[in-house]
Amino acid sequence: MAQVLTTKQTGFIQRYSSQVQTLLTVVDNLILLDTEFANDAYGTSGANQLTDALVQAVLPASTAALFNSGEAGVVSILATVASNRSALEWMRP
């Protein structure tokens, strides 16, 4: 039996693919920020180190250690998306 696509189903596909497109755009932006983080050595103990005071000026409830931990989480997410990027790209219209 042939499948009949409903308005709800096609709407779902549109919404889903739109969010995947948004995800890929955000990931591309995070890649640029992660590159800046690494190139400027923000996570090191050097002159450009992000200190608690710097982090707390923007994120009052955070610390440099928490920020660096979050950045490590972003790196993990970027790696996961990178390994699945070709499948996600098929969601673009």
Q: Read off the pLDDT of residues 38-55 as tens digits, 9 standing for 90 and up.
A: 999 998 888 999 999 999
- Whether residue 1 is contained in a domain is answered as no
Contact 64, 54 (CB under 8 A): yes
Over residues 71-84, mean pLDDT = 96
- Whether residue 4 is contained in a domain is answered as no
- Whether residue 71 is contained in a domain is answered as yes
Contact 20, 67 (CB under 8 A): no
- Whether residue 53 is contained in a domain is answered as yes
pLDDT confidence tier of residue 70, bands split at 50, 70 and 90: very high
pTM of the predicted model as reported, rounded to 2 decimal places: 0.83
Residue ranges making up the domain that contains 21: 10-89
The structural domain count of the chain equals 1
Assigned token pair, 57: 């000026």
- Whether residue 2 is contained in a domain is answered as no
- Whether residue 3 is contained in a domain is answered as no
- Whether residue 5 is contained in a domain is answered as no
